[in-house]
Amino acid sequence: MSTVTNILPTSARLARIKPSASGSARERVMQLMREGHTILDLSIGEPDLDTPDHVKAAAIEAITRGDTKYTGAAGTHALREAVVEKYRRENGVTIDASQVFIGSGAKQVLHNAFAATLNAGDEVVVPAPYWVSYPDMVALSDGVPVIAPASAARDYKLTASELDRAITPRTRWVVLNSPNNPTGASYSERELRELADVILSHERVWLLSDDIYEHFHYGKGKALTPLEVVPELAERSLSVNGVSKTYAMTGWRIGYGVGPASLIRQLVTLQSQTLSCVSSISQAAATAALNGPQDFVEHCVATFRERLDAAMHILGTVELLDCVRPSGAFYIFPGCARVIGKTTPDGKRIGSDVDFAAYLLDHAKVAVLDGSAYGVSPSIRLSFATALDTVKEACHRIKSACEALK
């Protein structure tokens, strides 16, 4: 009689990565809510606003018209042309449709880029703090994430000399994310030029610029993308963006990448053997979002600015937190070094930002993410992509929870 063993097949590739910290946090909050707890959720990474009506109508029309079949692996011509037009209109950059790849969210574009270009041991420079997924995505594609810490004193923005030091003969990509998740910091024109000069001085290094928060900018003028500041990067960069955040369309899963046609062909080959293509209906919706009226974006940013002002007004008075006003995205990333070593009202010692986030959840019923998931501790990430009253109440509770520490 044969014995059936139950050994789960696991690839070495998968064993290198862990579940997304923000995804896990979201599940934890949902579970608490299902159990009947009222949680003020500042852990969210998506706008709470609804997708604009004309975008929804375009999706319904696509269904009615019968646009319900596979599309080309690079995306529909209409959507790629809408991206071409977006770059002309908003960035003053001229590209053509052969330079555009449509993915299932910016996240899938990033994954395809790493999977299509990295070989074992190739390095990718990831400035810290970083969006939680970059290091794992690099590792999944056999690459080595090289974390380059950026200093809090310089708004967590990497300097040209710090970048230069992080580059080795194995470096293939440098990831820049501006405006940044989790810090909200945005690079200035001068800073982008200096970083681009370093990249251009290393022949084999490419720039992966994640511009997903491009439109969430609270300073003067607009947030600048590397490609518009340094056109010479066009031959050696992939700019990643999408409709998720800008048009409140996270669930539609549409992102795009813009790069040299030769690189785009590699991403398309991978797509053709994996996803085949992105949902035809979502692509029709994203086309309408990019080609249609843009007043939603202005409204969204004005709404978020009001929330940011309200949050900073309260958090700025919390003695135990170091809060820098972000210039973009929809996150605040306070340092919480002075909280470490304190004791909670029920006698627990706070030994890390993970403990602090757990304390805020238990004691104040406010969900935040700990900075360790973003590569910089001790700190926490607060999202203001939620209703103004919720933001205000949550910040008041954080203040009271800090005051209750001994």
Q: Is residue 143 near ligand PLP by the rule CB under 6 A?
A: no
Q: What is the DSSP string of 205-236?
A: -EEEEE-TTTT-B-SSS-PPPHHHH-GGGGGG
# binding residues, ligand PLP (CB under 6 A): 13
Q: One-letter amino acid identity for 89?
A: R
Q: One-letter amino acid identity for 125?
A: V
**C-alpha–C-alpha distance, residues 152 and 156, integer Å:** 5
CB of 177 to ligand PLP, least distance (A): 5
SS3 call for 390: helix
Choices 62-70, 101-109, 184-192, 260-268 (CB under 6 A): range interacting with ligand PLP: 101-109
Is there a contact between 285 and 62 (Cβ–Cβ < 8 Å)? yes
The 10 Å CB-count burial string (b at 16+, else e) for 53-62 is eebeebbeeb
Choices 242-250, 266-274, 361-369, 377-385 (CB under 6 A): range interacting with ligand PLP: 242-250
Q: Which is nearer to ligand PLP, 123 or 210 (CB)?
A: 210
Choices 84-92, 103-111, 136-144, 220-228 (CB under 6 A): range interacting with ligand PLP: 103-111
CB-count burial class (<10 Å; 0-12, 13-18, 19+) for 376: buried
Q: Which is nearer to ligand PLP, 41 or 355 (CB)?
A: 41
Q: One-letter amino acid identity for 81?
A: E
Q: Among candidates 396, 387, 346, 342, which has minimal Cα distance to 366?
A: 396
CB of 245 to ligand PLP, least distance (A): 7
The 10 Å CB-count burial string (b at 16+, else e) for 211-230 is bbbbbbbbeeeebbbbbbbb
CB of 180 to ligand PLP, least distance (A): 7
CB of 181 to ligand PLP, least distance (A): 4
Taking only Cα atoms into account, the Rg of the chain, rounded to an integer number of angstroms, comes to 22
Of the residues 250, 291, 303, 352, which one makes contact with ligand PLP according to CB under 6 A: 250
Report which residue's Cβ sits closest to ligand PLP: 105
Q: Is residue 185 near ligand PLP by the rule CB under 6 A?
A: no
Give 360's DSSP letter: I
Choices 104-112, 265-273, 302-310, 370-378 (CB under 6 A): range interacting with ligand PLP: 104-112
**C-alpha–C-alpha distance, residues 283 and 63, integer Å:** 11
Q: Is residue 113 near ligand PLP by the rule CB under 6 A?
A: no
Q: Is residue 377 near ligand PLP by the rule CB under 6 A?
A: no
End-to-end, the C-alpha distance of the chain in Å comes to 65
Residue 314 token pair: 């309260």
Q: Which is nearer to ligand PLP, 212 or 227 (CB)?
A: 212
Q: Is residue 45 near ligand PLP by the rule CB under 6 A?
A: yes
Binding to ligand PLP in span 253-272, by CB under 6 A: 255
Binding to ligand PLP in span 202-221, by CB under 6 A: 210, 212
Q: Is residue 181 near ligand PLP by the rule CB under 6 A?
A: yes
The residues binding ligand PLP (CB under 6 A) are 45, 105-107, 131, 177, 181, 210, 212, 242, 244, 250, 255
